[in-house]
Amino acid sequence: MVKRKTKDKTKRAGFPDFSYGEASFGTNRGISMGGGGFGKKTYTFEPDPHDDPWYNNGNQGEFYWQAAQAIIDGALGSGEWPKKGQVVVNKTTYTLGSR
């Protein structure tokens, strides 16, 4: 499981502390988000990240980092976790499903 807190630059910028981790749903993957005063939220990804050779070539940590940053940007803009949306990771657009 990939688990990481957001980088220190978000704390220095005055943003709340967020955490995220990989979520598994059978063979598909998603992301669980927490912190920032928004509670917890879990998303699925469509398409499945396992279909991306870049993801499978040792870039899982970077994948979740980029996805988490995009989701956090949405949360900071609206004051809550996005209910749905899209994130772009390594030039691939993923639709977020709510879990």
Q: Could you give the CA distance from residue 62 to residue 92 in angstroms, rounded to a whole number?
A: 13
Say which range, 17-21, 82-86, 87-91, has the weakest mean pLDDT: 17-21
Domain count, the chain: 1
pLDDT reported for residue 74:
87
Per the listing, tokens 């977020």 go with: 96
How confident is the model over 38-71, as pLDDT tens digits? 889 999 999 999 999 999 999 999 999 899 989 9
Domain that holds residue 9: 3-98
Question: Global pTM?
Answer: 0.81
Strand partners, 21: 3, 32
Identify whether the C-beta of residue 20 lies closer than 8 Å to the C-beta of residue 32. yes
DSSP 13-48: TTPPPEEEEEEEETTEEEEEEEETTS-EEEEEEES-
pLDDT reported for residue 4:
47
